[in-house]
Amino acid sequence: MSLDDVPRSVYTDDHEAFRATVRQFLQKEVAPNAAKWQEEGIVPKSIWPKAGELGMLCPTVPEEYGGLGLDFGYNAIVDEESSYYGGAATGFSLQSDIVANYIIRYGSEEQKKHWLPRMISGETITAIAMTEPGTGSDLQGMRTTAKKDGNHYVISGSKTYITNGQNADLILVCVKTDTEIEPAWKGMSIVLVEADREGFKRGRNLDKIGMDEADTSELFFEDVRVPITNCLGEEGKGFIYLMSELPQERLSIAVSAMASTQKAFDETVGFARDRMVFGKPLLDFQNTRFVLADLKAKLQVGWAHLDWALARHLKKELTPEEGAAAKLWHTDLQWEVMDKCLQLHGGAGYMNEYPIARMWRGARVTRIFGGTNEIMKELIGRKL
């Protein structure tokens, strides 16, 4: 089985033609290099312009800023194909699904005209810096500040667990521009910081238990001066902007999780057909068939729900709690499938040479990033 065997209701023929282009790129440029990048702990910047040439980066950017002006379905296809066929976390989805939207919706004309074309081409790699060493999902507790000094901000603080942190040329930094105002969220802003600014330093490329190829970093801001015009949108509106964009971020996580879940299942069915136990294929044992049958039924439900959520989002109707529910359910399903599929591999599942081991390790973080699944339950519960 493959992604082509999954019946979908949300995509058009144009979407599927784009899928073929994306898949060919991933199979040629990404999958053969995935093991090397995992060993090196980073995806080379040179792969980004190649993806940009094919329209894989930021496809939703309006044509007036050099984009294709397409819908989020094209982003979702890149996410699905990358999770199923790429074998490496490239960082593309962060740029296309998250950062681009902030600049499109809240950026000044100058910011849009300068940065969006570079993001589309892959010339500029972006990151968004929310999390700090002492604060995880509690964004209101951040301590990084941006104090006014004439027509500049002076940024001081640190961030951690930042995806694309080593490669990023531009970082959207969440800061406190007003530390006195109550409630605290009213004093939060988002400021664009170029990586060549004096006082900006990258810390270590963090050693993770999975997604080894994804550069995840500490970032330090030691009196970094940036023009006040680098503020994204209005000062003090950063928290509102973050809350407005999180449904798409969480849907993006759900899309990638669902595709990697299908990949783990398909890999395991193939393994169970070939693996001989007591003189017969592992798939011939009733326990194996029952476990896989249960997972297949859940996959069927998962794809139906994902298409429902994508359709809602394409119509701009996906609510924050629906986005949270999608992230919660699909990443929980991902972990259930990964764990049961690894168990069916037996001892082989514990060996990194088997794809299921790498997928299992990589899946562990999806219930944490984008807001922990415990926070997702809290967000959903508040609307009961």
CATH of the domain at 80: 1.10.540.10
Q: Which of 80, 132, 249, 322 is catalytic?
A: 249
User: Is a pLDDT exceeding 70 seen at residue 193?
Assistant: yes
Residue after which a domain boundary falls, among 81, 100, 124: 124
What token pair was written down for 24?
């060919």
Give CA–CA dist 81/157, Å, rounded: 37
Q: What is the DSSP letter of 365?
A: G
pLDDT at 136: 64
3-state secondary structure of 363: helix
Residue type, 311: A
Per-residue model confidence as pLDDT tens digits over 12-41: 999 999 999 999 999 999 999 999 999 999
Task: Say yes or no: 227 and 255 in one domain.
Answer: no
- Contacts of residue 199, defined as CB under 8 A and 6 or more positions apart, other chains included, come to 155, 221, 222, 223, 224, 225
Task: Say yes or no: 244 and 223 in one domain.
Answer: no
Task: Say yes or no: 173 and 63 in one domain.
Answer: no
Phi, psi of 349 (to 5 degrees): -65, -20
CATH of the domain at 339: 1.20.140.10
Q: What is the tally of structural domains in the chain? A: 3
Task: Say yes or no: 285 and 316 in one domain.
Answer: yes
Per-residue model confidence as pLDDT tens digits over 133-167: 877 666 777 899 999 999 999 999 999 999 999 99
Paired sense of beta strands 200-205 and 216-227, if any:
antiparallel
pLDDT at 304: 98
Give CA–CA dist 268/251, Å, rounded: 26
User: Is a pLDDT exceeding 80 seen at residue 334?
Assistant: yes
Give CA–CA dist 306/143, Å, rounded: 36
- Contacts of residue 104, defined as CB under 8 A and 6 or more positions apart, other chains included, come to 60, 61, 62, 65, 112, 116
Task: Say yes or no: 30 and 54 in one domain.
Answer: yes
pLDDT at 267: 97
| Dihedral sign, Cα of residue 365, residue 335, residue 85, residue 69 | negative
User: Is a pLDDT exceeding 90 seen at residue 335?
Assistant: yes
User: Is a pLDDT exceeding 80 seen at residue 275?
Assistant: yes
Task: Say yes or no: 208 and 266 in one domain.
Answer: no
Give CA–CA dist 338/349, Å, rounded: 10
pTM (two decimals): 0.94
Task: Say yes or no: 120 and 142 in one domain.
Answer: no
- Residue 164 lies in domain: 127-236
Task: Say yes or no: 38 and 106 in one domain.
Answer: yes
156 contacts 221 by C-beta, under 8 angstroms: yes
End-to-end Cα spacing for the chain: 39
Alpha carbons within 13 angstroms on the beta-carbon side of residue 213 total 20
Give CA–CA dist 254/233, Å, rounded: 28
Q: What is the DSSP letter of 233?
A: S
Residue after which a domain boundary falls, among 60, 90, 124: 124
Task: Say yes or no: 178 and 248 in one domain.
Answer: no
Per-residue model confidence as pLDDT tens digits over 49-90: 999 999 999 999 999 999 999 999 999 999 999 999 999 999
pLDDT at 177: 94
Residue after which a domain boundary falls, among 205, 236, 267: 236
Task: Say yes or no: 164 and 41 in one domain.
Answer: no
Tell me if residue 80 is catalytic. Answer: no
Task: Say yes or no: 261 and 220 in one domain.
Answer: no
What token pair was written down for 284?
């011939």
310 contacts 76 by C-beta, under 8 angstroms: yes
Per-residue model confidence as pLDDT tens digits over 165-189: 999 999 999 999 988 888 877 899 9
For residue 289, name the pLDDT band (cuts at 50, 70, 90).
very high
CATH of the domain at 170: 2.40.110.10
- The rounded mean pLDDT for the chain is 95
User: Is a pLDDT exceeding 90 seen at residue 376?
Assistant: yes
Neighbours of 156 (CB within 10 A): 17
Per-residue model confidence as pLDDT tens digits over 104-118: 999 999 999 999 999
Task: Name residue, tokens 């919706």.
Answer: 105
For residue 257, name the pLDDT band (cuts at 50, 70, 90).
very high
Give CA–CA dist 102/111, Å, rounded: 11
Give CA–CA dist 89/370, Å, rounded: 15
pLDDT at 179: 85
Per-residue model confidence as pLDDT tens digits over 301-313: 999 999 999 999 9
Task: Say yes or no: 114 and 133 in one domain.
Answer: no
